[in-house]
Amino acid sequence: MSKVEPARLFSALGDATRLSMLSRLSDGCTLSIVQLGDGLAISRQGVAKHLDVLHGAGLVDRRKSGREVHYALRREAIEAARTWLDEVNSQWDGTLARLKAFVEDGDG
């Protein structure tokens, strides 16, 4: 799973329920399915499916402990998503910089 596809990553992030789960994990804690679904108004199975999506996208780690399964945020995935966005921004910046240089060179 070294190569994380951006589309899958963003797709997994594209759901408010999953974002709230990730927020809950964002302090580095590790939570079970029941804990993650607490207060979410959807069934335990619904929660499990969301976690499958997050795990499939590489956004969370899954670790079995006794009869529980604990989930933790995978920071690399968050950074992979950020990297994609950064590339878009830097390309924009690069173009503006080149444009600025061109204008200044020709005009000034």
Partner DNA sequence: CATATAGGCAACCTCCTGGGTGCCTATATG
Partner DNA sequence: CATATAGGCACCCAGGAGGTTGCCTATATG
Of 38-46, 63-71, 93-101, the window that binds its own copies (rule: CB under 8 A) is 93-101
Binding mask 10-49 for DNA (x = CB under 7 A): -x--xx-x--------------xxxx-----xxxxxx-xx
Of 30-38, 41-49, 61-69, 88-96, the window that binds its own copies (rule: CB under 8 A) is 88-96
Q: Are residues 15 and 50 in contact, defined by beta-carbon separation less than 8 angstroms?
A: yes
Contacts (Cβ under 8 Å, ≥6 apart) of 78: 59
CA-based nearest residue to 48, from 81, 72, 71? 71
Give per-residue burial for 31-68: e unless 16+ CB within 10 Å, then b.
bbbeebbeeeeeeeeebeebbebbbebbbbbeeeeeee
C-alpha to C-alpha distance for 55 and 62, rounded to whole angstroms? 7
Q: Which of 21, 33, 54, 81 binds its own copies (CB under 8 A)?
A: 81
Q: How far is the CB of 108 from its own copies (least distance, A)?
A: 21
Residue with smaller CB distance to DNA, 7 or 104: 7
What 3-state class would DSSP assign to 29? coil
Contacts with its own copies, residue ranges (CB under 8 A): 5-16, 19, 22-23, 26-28, 73, 75, 78-79, 81-82, 84-89, 91-92, 94-96
Contacts with DNA, residue ranges (CB under 7 A): 11, 14-15, 17, 32-35, 41-46, 48-50, 53, 66-70
